[in-house]
Chain A
Amino acid sequence: MTRITLGGAVLRGAVSTALVASLMSAPALGAPPVDLSKWSPEYVRSIAGTQDFDTAGDCAKVTPLDYKGRLTFWYQGVFEGDPDLLRQYYKDFFATFRKTYPNIQLEEQALTYNDLLDKFRTALLGNAAPMAVRLQILGGTEFASKGYLQPLKPEDVGYSTEDFWPGALKAVTWDGVTYGIPTNNETMAFIWNADIFKRAGLDPDKPPATWDDVVKYSKQIHDKLGIAGYGLVARKNAGNTPYRFMPQLWAYGGGVFDEATANPTYKQIELDSPQSKAALQASYDMYVRDKSVPVSALTNQQADNQPLFLAGQLGMMISHPSDYNVMLDLQKKATGTDKDKAQTVIDNMRYGLIPTGPDGKRAVVFGGSNIHILKPEYVEGGKVDEPAAKAIICMWTSPEWSLKMAYAGSNPGNLNGFKTKWMKERLDNIKFLDVTTSMLPYGIPFPALPQSPEIMNIIVPDMLQNALTGAMTVDQAADDAAKKVKDLMGGGL
């Protein structure tokens, strides 16, 4: 029989308390990874707020806090479609970085999604790039394949590869080498206005189950109420277009290549397949046949759909969880009766899973951003301050900041972000977050090819525009796009 003395009990209690406390504040490197096989909204809720992280302490192991250096840094920042909440977190991040690393002279520059690639490519041609850059997920492979980026893996900044989504790491891997670290990863959701559904004779609590239903619902809304049903977006050179059309294309069983399969090879072009044409036909039916979507879809972006939705002039759209906060921000700016109308829309805002295709396939773009370090020869001045670059990367990709910087619109790139107290707070504050986290397992990354930006930003929107304007038939538009992809992959002029 074991005798438990008071002193022993106190000692054991103190040790176990210290052990739990130390586990709670364990650095990210030592924390057990998030179990992706258990992924569900319930699992996300169960791990939220279970662990504390010491960001400055973790990053001090990568770059000492008293390190003296200089860093030039470009990043895809907040834009007009983002909520004010996110703006504040961006400000807080840079203020905290300067406080944590007071001797690093940081020269940061924010650029919008649509401007960043153009500016960055131009700077690279003149060897005037920044030392570090945060790019949209599409950009990683392009610049890695051309040799502009330095190899960079999570372990280089104190984290583990298991701390990040495998799909996200694929987008920064070229020829088996990792060239960047995901900062945030996201999947969008389907949003509808329950009041519009009700007035159009639809079940206000039931979103369209399939894309064919979206076409039907959109027509019904338009015919009954005279407003736009679904928020189609088809502008060229705008990231919004592929993020909304690709889920539709994949759900119908189509694709640019075989990117929607488990092990894509990107060898066979699928844009002209019957499945891809069926997806394009659905857009054609909404825009041309039923005229049930905004006419301005060809020149608009999602930021233009947001005020439409808030004005009660749009029934359904695909977007981020942040749109709820954006609506709240916009509502605050409204005056008179518009304010009440906006409140009615917000009260009737519902989120659901993105519809499936005819065969029950559900898909969404696995989006996000990555952070990279440039090779010195492409940087202004020919020098890269690696410790300074690693300091900011460690901080941005930490569980704390990768969560905070994605607070309203995305999800933390570092999976340990889901364990933080801010995730718990976020689950309470950000409405409909469950829906978008539920969509994550359906996420399909864009093809990890250097040609992806051109395919997604130019060829796919061109295909849509050619079909929707009547410049080509649906078949011709799909065939034309497939030919363009073939020429592009063949290195044609």
Chain B
Amino acid sequence: MTIATGQKEARRELQPGSSRLLRNIWEHRADYAYVLPAIVVMLIVIAYPIYYTIELSFFNTPPGLQLRDKNFIGLDNYTAILTSEVFWKVTWNTLIWTLGSTFISFVLGFATALALHRDFIGRGVLRAILIIPWVISAVAASYIWKWIYHSDFGIIGAVLVELGLADRPPNFIDSVGTVLPSLIVVNIWREFPFAMIMMMAGLQTVPDQLLRAAKVDGANAWQRFWHVTFPHLRNVSTVTILLLAVANFNSFIIPWIMTGGGPSNASHIWITHIYELAFGRQRWGVASAYSVLLFLILMTLGYFYVRALGGNERKDGSA
């Protein structure tokens, strides 16, 4: 055996997996050809922007220059972000916004789903009405709520003053203390129907015979819920919470339209702050670094989402 032949064989022994993979690809070449256009499109519209954003995050992009005149500054954008006061303020706002909106939307949606799971007259109509906030355009809803909250002429303030419960209309969105909770209420109003629908679908998978058996065994309503219903809903709950969390982390429309992140940055969350950095202040480099950090956080949430989905599928025996 020559040295060259020996090396080849050694390489083959070292890479049994890769040759199997290549053979596999070759055998399924028609399948790959079918998905190739989709992969190419994804590479263009997803992979390249991600790559470019990561690249840009290592550059200084002075607002007085064109983007092509950017200069490499390594990790300075990340350092600047992590040491800036605004970052921590905006991160804190984002956490309150995401956790508050997600948790309350889920609890409210779940409670409503449980209430609507029972049979009563008008259930269908009520379901339809409760879905309205979710199907309404977020932009339209934001403008409507801006007027409802209006600090001088909002309907809530007018009713409170009319009933003698307040001397002057409460300040919902022009105060640093109340603006974020006020926006969270709007977000919950828009999102809880989604949680409701998901949980209603989940409730339909709970086997009736188990509930009846538990009742025969003397379990009260709470025990039936906690020991029978809830375990069946664990996976759909996880998926719902993760989807809500990702959507809330990525929220833009409600805070941007209603307050533009103000007053005094009190309702700036990550996405609105990134938008202002990029398009208002043209700090493309810093905005990209923010986006990369946000991407990592969302990928982590995405990982748990996929895991939760995988758990579902395994339980169903479908994977």
Which residues does A use to contact B, with CB under 8 Å?
A: 118, 121-122, 125, 145-148, 228, 234-238, 294-299, 308, 313, 450-451, 454, 457-458, 461-462, 465-466, 468-472, 488, 491, 493
Report the separation of the CA atoms of residues A450 and B171 in the bound assembly, to the nearest whole angstrom: 37
Q: Are A297 and B174 in contact (CB under 8 A)?
A: yes
Q: Say if the beta carbon of B184 comes within 8 Å of chain A.
A: no
Flag whether B53 is at the interface (Cβ < 8 A). no
Q: How many A-B residue pairs have CB under 8 A?
A: 97
Select A237's contact among B153, B175, B276, beta carbons within 8 Å.
B276
Provide the bound-state CA to CA distance between A450 and B282, in Å. 11
Answer yes or no: B190 CB below 8 A from chain A CBs: no
Q: Does B285 contact A (CB under 8 A)?
A: yes
Question: Shortest beta-carbon distance, B101 to chain A, in Å?
Answer: 20
A118 and B169 contact, Cβ closer than 8 Å, known pairs A297-B174, A451-B63, A462-B264: no
Chain A residues near B150 (CB-CB < 8 A): 296
A458: chain B residues within 8 A (beta carbon): 276, 280-281
Is there contact, CB below 8 Å, between A313 and B280? no
Asked whether B65 is an interface residue with its Cβ less than 8 Å from the other chain, the reply is yes
How far in angstroms is the closest Cβ of chain A from B10?
Answer: 50
Q: Which residues of A contact B67 (CB under 8 A)?
A: 125
CA distance A454 to B62 in the complex (A): 12
Query: From residue 164 to 186 of chain B, which have CB atoms closer than 8 A to chain A?
Result: 169, 171, 173-176
Chain B residues, Cβ within 8 Å of A294: 151-152
> B264–A450 contact, CB under 8 A?
no
5 interchain pairs, CB-CB under 8 A = A146-B66, A294-B152, A299-B259, A308-B152, A469-B175
Enumerate chain B residues within 8 angstroms of A122, measured Cβ to Cβ.
279
Q: How many whole Å from A380's CB to the nearest CB in chain B?
A: 17
- A295 in contact with B263 given A118-B279, A122-B279, A491-B64 (CB within 8 Å): no
Question: Bound complex: CA of A111 vs CA of B263, how far in Å?
Answer: 25
Q: In the bound complex, how far is the Cα of B85 from the Cα of A471, in angstroms? A: 13
Q: A471–B265 Cα gap in the complex (Å)?
A: 10
B176 pairs with A148, CB closer than 8 A: no
Mask, B44-78, CB within 8 Å of A = 1, is 00000000000000001011111100000000110
Closest 3 CB pairs between A and B? A295-B151, A298-B263, A471-B264
Distance between Cα atoms of A450 and B279 in the complex (Å) = 14
Q: Are B280 and A228 neighbours in the complex by a CB distance under 8 Å?
A: no
User: Among the listed A118, A234, A236, which residue makes an inter-chain contact with B261, where contact means beta carbons less than 8 Å apart?
Assistant: A236
Q: How far is the CA of A472 from the CA of B174 in the complex (A)?
A: 15
Instruction: Check: B80 CB closer than 8 A to any chain A CB.
Output: yes
How far apart are the CA atoms of A121 and B281 in the complex, in Å? 11
Q: Residue among B64, B65, B176, B286 with the most chain A CB within 10 A?
A: B64
Q: Which one of B60, B77, B174, B284 contacts A298 once the chains associate, using CB atoms below 8 Å?
A: B174
Query: Complex: how many Å from CA A308 to CA B259?
Result: 19
Q: How far is the CB of A277 from chain B (nearest CB, A)?
A: 18
Contact A236 B262 (CB under 8 A): yes
- Taking a contact as CB atoms under 8 Å apart, the answer to whether B146 and A146 are in contact is no
Interface centre among B80, B264, B283 (most CB of A within 10 A): B264
Q: B63-102 toward A: CB 8 Å interface, digit per residue (1/0)?
A: 1111100000000110010000000000000000000000
Instruction: Quote the shortest CB–CB distance from B266 to chain A (angstroms).
Output: 7
Q: How far, in whole Å, are A99 and B146 apart by their CA atoms in the complex?
A: 43
